[in-house]
Protein backbone atom coordinates (compact mmCIF):
# COMPACT_ATOMS: atom_id res chain seq x y z
CA UNK A 1 0.00 0.00 0.00
CA UNK A 2 1.29 3.42 -0.97
CA UNK A 3 0.38 7.10 -0.80
CA UNK A 4 1.15 9.36 -3.77
CA UNK A 5 1.32 13.14 -4.21
CA UNK A 6 1.31 14.70 -7.66
CA UNK A 7 3.12 17.74 -9.00
CA UNK A 8 0.02 19.68 -10.01
CA UNK A 9 0.02 23.33 -8.99
CA UNK A 10 -3.54 24.70 -8.85
CA UNK A 11 -4.27 28.06 -7.32
CA UNK A 12 -7.04 28.00 -4.69
CA UNK A 13 -7.30 31.44 -3.15
CA UNK A 14 -3.89 32.15 -1.67
CA UNK A 15 -2.97 28.47 -1.54
CA UNK A 16 -1.40 26.29 -4.20
CA UNK A 17 -2.84 22.80 -4.23
CA UNK A 18 -1.98 19.33 -5.50
CA UNK A 19 -3.53 15.86 -5.16
CA UNK A 20 -2.87 13.10 -2.64
CA UNK A 21 -4.12 9.61 -3.48
CA UNK A 22 -3.46 6.13 -2.16
CA UNK A 23 -3.96 2.46 -2.87
CA UNK A 24 -6.68 2.28 -0.20
CA UNK A 25 -8.95 4.80 1.49
CA UNK A 26 -7.69 3.60 4.87
CA UNK A 27 -4.13 4.49 3.95
CA UNK A 28 -5.21 7.78 2.38
CA UNK A 29 -7.09 8.83 5.52
CA UNK A 30 -4.24 7.69 7.77
CA UNK A 31 -1.79 9.90 5.85
CA UNK A 32 -4.22 12.82 5.90
CA UNK A 33 -4.53 12.49 9.66
CA UNK A 34 -0.77 12.17 10.06
CA UNK A 35 -0.05 15.38 8.14
CA UNK A 36 -2.94 17.35 9.64
CA UNK A 37 -5.50 17.33 6.82
CA UNK A 38 -9.08 17.12 8.09
CA UNK A 39 -11.25 14.32 6.69
CA UNK A 40 -13.85 16.88 5.62
CA UNK A 41 -11.50 17.73 2.72
CA UNK A 42 -11.70 14.19 1.35
CA UNK A 43 -12.90 14.04 -2.23
CA UNK A 44 -14.90 10.84 -2.19
CA UNK A 45 -15.58 8.73 -5.29
CA UNK A 46 -19.26 9.70 -5.04
CA UNK A 47 -18.30 13.37 -5.47
CA UNK A 48 -15.33 13.17 -7.87
CA UNK A 49 -13.54 10.92 -10.30
CA UNK A 50 -11.78 9.07 -7.50
CA UNK A 51 -10.83 9.07 -3.86
CA UNK A 52 -8.25 11.77 -3.07
CA UNK A 53 -7.47 14.88 -1.09
CA UNK A 54 -6.57 18.27 -2.56
CA UNK A 55 -3.71 19.41 -0.32
CA UNK A 56 -1.60 22.54 0.02
CA UNK A 57 2.06 22.34 -0.92
CA UNK A 58 3.04 22.60 2.76
CA UNK A 59 1.05 19.40 3.45
CA UNK A 60 2.58 17.81 0.35
CA UNK A 61 6.04 18.41 1.79
CA UNK A 62 4.98 16.77 5.06
CA UNK A 63 3.53 13.78 3.19
CA UNK A 64 6.76 13.31 1.21
CA UNK A 65 8.80 13.62 4.41
CA UNK A 66 6.87 10.70 5.93
CA UNK A 67 6.97 8.47 2.88
CA UNK A 68 4.55 9.58 0.16
CA UNK A 69 5.81 8.98 -3.36
CA UNK A 70 6.04 11.92 -5.75
CA UNK A 71 4.37 11.42 -9.13
CA UNK A 72 3.39 13.64 -12.04
CA UNK A 73 -0.13 14.95 -12.51
CA UNK A 74 -0.31 12.87 -15.70
CA UNK A 75 0.53 9.73 -13.75
CA UNK A 76 -2.08 10.65 -11.13
CA UNK A 77 -4.72 11.12 -13.81
CA UNK A 78 -3.87 7.84 -15.52
CA UNK A 79 -3.80 5.98 -12.20
CA UNK A 80 -7.18 7.42 -11.22
CA UNK A 81 -8.59 6.35 -14.58
CA UNK A 82 -7.16 2.86 -14.11
CA UNK A 83 -8.79 2.66 -10.67
CA UNK A 84 -12.18 3.52 -12.22
CA UNK A 85 -11.71 0.68 -14.74
CA UNK A 86 -9.93 -1.99 -12.66
CA UNK A 87 -10.53 -0.91 -9.02
CA UNK A 88 -6.76 -0.53 -8.50
CA UNK A 89 -4.37 2.40 -8.96
CA UNK A 90 -1.51 0.21 -10.10
CA UNK A 91 2.04 1.48 -10.50
CA UNK A 92 2.83 5.04 -11.56
CA UNK A 93 5.66 3.63 -13.69
CA UNK A 94 3.30 2.20 -16.32
CA UNK A 95 0.17 4.29 -15.72
CA UNK A 96 0.47 6.57 -18.73
CA UNK A 97 1.23 3.68 -21.09
CA UNK A 98 -1.68 1.70 -19.63
CA UNK A 99 -4.02 4.61 -20.41
CA UNK A 100 -2.64 5.00 -23.95
CA UNK A 101 -3.14 1.28 -24.55
CA UNK A 102 -6.69 1.41 -23.19
CA UNK A 103 -7.60 4.35 -25.43
CA UNK A 104 -6.06 2.63 -28.47
CA UNK A 105 -8.02 -0.54 -27.75
CA UNK A 106 -11.23 1.45 -27.44
CA UNK A 107 -10.56 3.24 -30.73
CA UNK A 108 -9.88 -0.08 -32.46
CA UNK A 109 -13.08 -1.57 -31.05
CA UNK A 110 -15.09 1.34 -32.47
CA UNK A 111 -13.62 1.11 -35.97
CA UNK A 112 -15.97 -0.44 -38.53
CA UNK A 113 -14.95 -3.83 -39.90
Residue 110 pLDDT exceeds 90: no
Pairing verdict, β 3-5 and 69-70? parallel
Q: Where are the domains of the chain?
A: 3-110
**Model confidence, pTM:** 0.89
Residue 97: pLDDT over 90: yes
pLDDT attached to residue 113: 64
Contact of 3 with 22, CB cutoff 8 Å: yes
Contacts of range 61-67, beta carbons closer than 8 Å, 24 or more positions apart: 62/34, 62/35, 62/36, 63/3, 63/5, 63/20, 63/31, 63/35, 64/5, 66/31, 66/34, 66/35, 67/3
pLDDT of residue 112: 77
Average pLDDT over residues 37-60: 90
Does residue 1 register a pLDDT over 70?
no
Q: How much of the chain exceeds pLDDT 90, in percent?
A: 85
pLDDT score recorded for residue 9: 96
Mean pLDDT within 40-44: 92
Amino acid sequence: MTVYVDDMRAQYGRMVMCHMLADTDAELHAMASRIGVAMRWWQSPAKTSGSHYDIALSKRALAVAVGAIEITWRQAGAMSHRRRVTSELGSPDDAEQWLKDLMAARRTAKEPS
